[in-house]
A and B are shown apart, each in its own frame.
Chain A
Amino acid sequence: MADQSPQKEAFPKGSVKTYNLVEVVRGRTNMIEKGPDNTIFAFPIVAILELLIALGTGAFLVLFSLVKNAPLEDLANPLVTTDPAKAPWYFMGLQEMLEHAHPLISGIILPGVMVLFVMAIPYLDNSRVGSGRWFTSARGKKITLWTTIYTTIIMPTYIVIDNLFPPRELLRGILPDFVAQSLIPVIILAIIVLLPVAVLMRSKPNAREVMLVLFTVLFISAVIFTLSGFLFRGPGFKLYWPWDMPNGYNPLNNL
């Protein structure tokens, strides 16, 4: 307790010291406040886990390939259009969207906005809180669950209603093409997407919770549109039950 003189420098210059305090930086090092007992050497456990996953993947692929053959249809013939003509399954969400709005909107602008939005997520929500925790919090889990339920109900409903009463066709000639083909579909979709965000806004959400809603709407919608296009679209790209397709068409043969 000899160092109590008020003039004492916190970091005195010493002739034997080879370092000096230059600046105090707010932040933390990688390992601060982490118990060393919580970490283990990555070798060999990580190598073993990775090997197991790789072997499992290989075994699964071999077994599945023994059971199911890759499809091969007749030689390509530009003169004979297949009915329905479908893109690969992962683009069927896109092809399904083409049924609901002008192609420029549904084929280019909306997918472009979606990709840009997904890329921008970390820059819109840049807090580190909750990183590494599923759904961040109990509230985040609830938000995700309700958004999933909402999207699972509203998107198939939208697809079916829009297919039965397509404003693009019904309003053709009554309203200008731009309104019927682009504006109305965009407004309907915007309402569907922004409704849960509006509900959430009443409880003062943080950026992460808004992202949870928007990403979940986007992700579940992508799944539903892909399933709809891939499984439920038959000849003439009309909606059928997958097990009740005319002309013996089986959507699973398109894999």
Chain B
Amino acid sequence: MSILNSITKSRVWRSFFRHGWPDNPLDRSLIMTTNVFFHLHPVKVNLKSIKATYSLGLGILTVASFISLALTGIMLMFYYVPSVERAFPDIVALQNSVPFGQLFRNMHRWGAHLMVLTCVLHMARVFYTGAYKPPREFNWVIGVVLLILTLGASFTGYLLPWDQLAYWAITVGTSIASYEPVMGALIKKILLGGPEVGQASLTRFYGLHIMVIPALLFLLISLHMWRVRKDGGLAANDLDVAPAEDAQK
């Protein structure tokens, strides 16, 4: 214990952490307010809001799959070139000759499906627990935008293996946009960079997939979680006051 003490009391350690060992109320408050990762959380939580049957942990699950997608995505980027000549052979080589290549690709694929699924389920949970109600209205809107971005991330990634499945799924998917009479043809052209799926589309989808959409997701997920705290934590915190307000209405 004295070794631990001498470490946590040292000047180096104290320059990292601006709070003492979090075993007392003051330091457990300070760890939340002075740490950039923890500050998205409130200092205290209502016991009801951490019950598994309340939130089902779906929001955190979505973030967890997003993080695993970012990590496995970086691994895939090291072995993948987004050109119509190289994309497909790169994926084959990744699977056959890169150590754990197949595993990382599988994790990235199933993680993407998992993230879409948990995102949708999280939205249903928030709706059915009435957690979109004031003052959380705008956070609900951010959540809907996050769902659309998640679909966009998955859709742009779908093209990258450049196999028949990818090619025709994106051809079908983008043709839906072209039914819009005013902007449809333009949107399709901007997405694909040409009249049909080709090298320009692959370049654009790759750029959107690895940079634009993840950056937006990162920004909006941070905003989304920070607002949960700013709006009073999970809506289960409100339960204790609901009867009094029922009487007011």
Contacts and interface: CB of A to CB of B under 8 A. Distances in A.
B41 interface: yes
Q: For the complex, would chain B's binding face be called helix, strand, loop or mixed by DSSP majority?
A: helix
A228 to B, nearest CB: 16
B64 A57 contact: yes
A125 B48 CA distance: 24
Instruction: Categorize the interface residue count of chain B.
Output: 35 or more
Given A75-B88, A128-B134, A104 B110 contact: no
Interface stretch (B6-14, B137-145, B204-212, B213-221): B137-145
A88 interface: yes
Contacts of B22: 43-44
Contacts of B68: 57-58, 61
Contacts of B140: 119, 121-122
Contact of B46 (A33, A39, A61): A39
B197 A208 contact: no
B237 interface: yes
Contacts of A90: 116, 151, 154
B226 interface: no
Contact of A76 (B123, B155, B162): B162
A95 B155 CA distance: 14
A29 to B, nearest CB: 10
A46 B92 contact: no
Interface string A15-47: 000000000000010101111001111111111
B171 A85 contact: yes
Interface string A79-97: 0111001111111001100
A38 B51 CA distance: 13
A133 B42 CA distance: 20
A53 B60 contact: yes
A74 B169 CA distance: 14
Contact of A65 (B38, B110, B132): B110
A82 B164 contact: yes
A35 B137 CA distance: 26
Given A49-B57, A65-B103, A72-B95, A42 B176 contact: no
Contacts, number: 248
B151 to A, nearest CB: 6
Given A57-B61, A132-B237, A127 B133 contact: yes
A178 interface: no
Given A53-B57, A58-B64, A129 B246 contact: yes
Contacts of A68: 106, 110
Nearest to B176: A107
B94 to A, nearest CB: 10
Contact of A40 (B44, B103, B132, B249): B44
Contacts of A255: 109, 113
Interface string B110-137: 1101101000000110011111111011
B41 A46 contact: yes
Contacts of B236: 132
Contacts of A219: 124, 127
A212 B128 CA distance: 8
Given A82-B164, A136-B130, A42 B44 contact: yes
B54 to A, nearest CB: 8
B164 A131 contact: no
A247 interface: no
B144 A73 contact: no
A119 B240 CA distance: 27
B70 interface: no
28 contacts: A39-B44, A39-B46, A40-B44, A42-B28, A42-B44, A43-B41, A44-B28, A45-B45, A46-B41, A46-B45, A66-B106, A69-B106, A73-B165, A76-B88, A78-B197, A85-B169, A85-B172, A88-B169, A91-B176, A104-B181, A107-B176, A108-B179, A122-B134, A125-B133, A130-B130, A134-B54, A144-B128, A219-B127
Which 4 interchain pairs have the tightest Cβ spacing?
A: A65-B106, A122-B137, A132-B235, A76-B167
